[in-house]
Amino acid sequence: MKAKKNIGIKIVCNNRKARFNYFFQEILEAGIVLKGSEVKSLRDGKANITDAYAADNNGEIYLINSYIPLYKESSYNNHNPRDFRKLLLNKREINKVIGKINREGLTIIPTKMYFKKGKAKVEIAIAKGKKLYDKRHVSKKRDWDREKARVLSKNK
């Protein structure tokens, strides 16, 4: 049976390194405040969130160090590629996220940026950083699973 595709979702960029470097505790979907030239650049499929993170500032959550390149067809009111971008969450969600960050020492990592029904969204994860031995364990398990799959496919 064919898997269902998410209709109305266009993924702009993924943060594949995040799952290797962090343990995810909770995943949230947030809107993002963008300027017109930023939206045009995102619709071209150009963005980078691999080094990005989110932090709170006066009770609001901002996406920091995300890269949305300049839109070359834009005029004098182009945007700053590494500007802080406000994330749109409910007040209850913001308070919960800020509490977890302050109490448990967790971080907010963007995992995916996409368009959903024409609106720009960011999937953020409340995460805890992995230690070096955790990363080695994950890569060892991945190699073992790959080797096991090879052996099983040869036996068939």
Average pLDDT over residues 72-96: 85
Query: Is the per-residue pLDDT at 4 higher than 70?
Result: no
Q: What is the pLDDT of residue 78?
A: 79
Measured between alpha carbons, how far is 26 from 127 in angstroms, rounded to an integer?
A: 7
CB 89 within 8 A of CB 95: no
Measured between alpha carbons, how far is 122 from 136 in angstroms, rounded to an integer?
A: 29
pTM: 0.78
**CATH superfamily of the 9-130 domain:** Small protein B (2.40.280.10)
**Residue 45 — very low, low, confident or very high, per pLDDT cuts 50/70/90?**
confident
Please give the residue that has the higher pLDDT: either 94 or 155.
94
Average pLDDT, the chain: 86
Q: Give, for 145, the enclosing helix (H) or strand (E).
A: helix 132-155
Which residue from 118, 122, 125 is spatially nearest to 47, judged by alpha carbons?
A: 122
DSSP string, 83-142: --EEEE--HHHHHHHHHHHHHH--EEEEEEEEEETTEEEEEEEEEEEPPHHHHHHHHHHH
| All structural domains of the chain with their residue ranges | 9-130
Per residue in 96-140, pLDDT (tens digit) is 999 888 888 789 999 999 999 889 999 999 998 888 877 888 888
